[in-house]
Structure 1
């Protein structure tokens, strides 16, 4: 009986250990491998047209368009925006006037941010833009947004979408979105003046029924919901194994390919370590053979051996002359061995962000009587290149004037 109880207890212990091991395996495979770097492409397609959204469709000052796309890949600790939460100062400035200085202050590698990327703006209501970004097992989420222009504080975006599902990277996903309200401005129409919301309201979704105000530019009481105003298509491009690319060890006999710095340089058409092929081993062998035969033993004193020594000395002279000719010196009858042509080296150009000048002074009001506009501009100092940040907005407009400035009086009796 005691032995049976001991065996039963041992079976329970083994079962518990196996269950714990199974739970650990599940938890370990629930996240993607942090040593794998994955490249994704996001394509943003917008559908803001007069045919689909006819109400108050903006056609001038400015026409319907979209700002640049601001994106981050990150871990769960980072937050670009969150539905139901109040907007941060960075989101407020971006959603209202398109500025990203506050958002850019938290640079790559800080606060859970892994990759910081942008896509060019769309200069009309219907169009598309795209960008590529990196993720890894520790930073598998992506957030991005683009501002509706013109609008009080409206934008479209994706909040912390996880691209790692059950330990595997998502191959492709299509996300349809509606416009969002940052909750920092009270305007109802696309071109409404700046009326701050105090206190700020939570970030919310704009639908055909909400907000249910007749002045709302997206309010369509005759339909239950309007079509999506934009679509985000996220596609996996490539996966990189960390050891494959960055390991400096030479190639091993195993099936895993490991690249050395020379291999990486050759792949880009330039290798500072690369030199002309040499056959030093063969040269040394010939040189040692000739040296041994041109220094015979004292016993070699016959005329035949003396003639052989002279012959070998001539061979040594010709060999030395040949070695010099290999360096480009003249070979008989005026011929010349040309030196080996060096392969052209590619110059690596680092990304360069667009730089713009400071804002000009505000222009005079466009109207001396009534509500007009003031404009200020800035110019491009140099364009972005090699994947640098695109140029920001080059013109800003604000309201000016008042009906009080008019000379006539409404009531004259």
Structure 2
């Protein structure tokens, strides 16, 4: 009898312990979050936006090593796409593509556009490509018009910081739609990014490839944490914005053709009658480049032939149908001369 009583007593203790444990699991253990898909736009009509990029790169805001000449502070062409949520033109904390490398280092957009085209054909993720002309000056403006629709409601773009090793500003996968409504107006502050492909510290650093390649990172007042860095301001908690972009929903004017200038401009605005007349008498300006840098190190194993590079930079961009700039990089075969 005592054995039976003890057995049932132990069973009661076990049952009580099991109920307490179950209650703890129900109330205290949270379920794993289930990944949610990107918000889906259900707007019925295509939206038309006016995009205005404004440079805020001034000597007063960024006094350290501010480029005054050879070349002065300026912005490259703006290159952008409208797309779905499964496409990234570039992405923070991810490796830059070859197209992004060429654009951020040399301002060449051919490979980047081929990558965009390939993504559009492969996964139908890209709707349109747009651009705006380069700006001569750190505080100029550029302007363009874009169309977006529900399936491709996201916007991405890049603008190269000139001069720089591989630095840029831009936007990655920004959604212009909320539910079934298009956003009426958006202003985004832009901060510098490092593409992770060149190891230069200053605006005018010579080409010095990063091996192995690093991921795209945002440049801050303390990153890279080196006094030689052009953005190194240890007293600042945050860098001031280097540029901003404003997107305004507008009514598309089908009866008006807007022709954007092909040359770099201080401000991309439609010219007045007097400005058009003045441009007819503009003197052509040929491109001017620096002398060649010394040949770089011969990249090869001892006993093998390799390649070495040299570069030059733009002193002045061509304008008004002047002579375009010649190639800014050369390479030649070499044999290492420092072998034991």
- Per the normalisation by structure 1, the TM-score is 0.54
Unaligned runs of 5+ residues in structure 2 are 1-36, 264-287, 295-309, 332-340
| CA RMSD of superposed structures (Å) | 3.8
Per-residue deviation at 1:32? Answer: 2.5
- The reply on whether 1:191 has 2:201 as its aligned counterpart is no
Among 163, 169, 175, which residue is 2:182 paired with? 169
- The equivalent residue for 1:49 is 58
Q: Distance between the aligned counterparts of 1:349 and 1:177, measured in 2?
A: 30
Asked whether the equivalents of residues 375 and 396 of structure 1 are also in contact (C-alpha less than 8 Å), the reply is no
Among 88, 110, 113, which residue is 1:104 paired with? 113
Q: 1:132 to 1:367 in 2, by over 3 A?
A: closer
- The equivalent residue for 2:86 is 77
Asked whether the equivalents of residues 153 and 181 of structure 1 are also in contact (C-alpha less than 8 Å), the reply is yes
- The equivalent residue for 1:282 is none
- The reply on whether 1:117 has 2:130 as its aligned counterpart is yes
Q: Distance between the aligned counterparts of 2:197 and 2:311, measured in 1?
A: 24
Alignment length, in residue pairs?
Answer: 251
**What CA deviation, in whole Å up to 9, does each residue of 1:77-131 have, x standing for no partner?**
2211001100000000000000000122233953421111101111001111111
- The equivalent residue for 1:92 is 101
Asked whether the equivalents of residues 37 and 239 of structure 1 are also in contact (C-alpha less than 8 Å), the reply is no
Asked whether the equivalents of residues 91 and 216 of structure 2 are also in contact (C-alpha less than 8 Å), the reply is yes
Q: 1:130 to 1:198 in 2, by over 3 A?
A: same
**What CA deviation, in whole Å up to 9, does each residue of 1:38-59 have, x standing for no partner?**
1111111111111110000111
More helix, by proportion? 1
**What CA deviation, in whole Å up to 9, does each residue of 1:168-212 have, x standing for no partner?**
111111111210000001110001111111121111100111111
- The reply on whether 1:37 has 2:79 as its aligned counterpart is no
Asked whether the equivalents of residues 44 and 231 of structure 1 are also in contact (C-alpha less than 8 Å), the reply is yes
- Aligned runs of 1:119-268 on 2, under 5 Å? 119-238=132-251
- Per the normalisation by structure 2, the TM-score is 0.65
Q: Which has the higher contact order (CA 8 A, sep 6+)?
A: 2
Asked whether the equivalents of residues 377 and 396 of structure 1 are also in contact (C-alpha less than 8 Å), the reply is no
Asked whether the equivalents of residues 133 and 262 of structure 2 are also in contact (C-alpha less than 8 Å), the reply is no
Q: Distance between the aligned counterparts of 1:364 and 1:192, measured in 2?
A: 14
Q: 1:220 to 1:168 in 2, by over 3 A?
A: same
Per-residue deviation at 1:375? Answer: 6.9
- Aligned runs of 1:289-304 on 2, under 5 Å? none
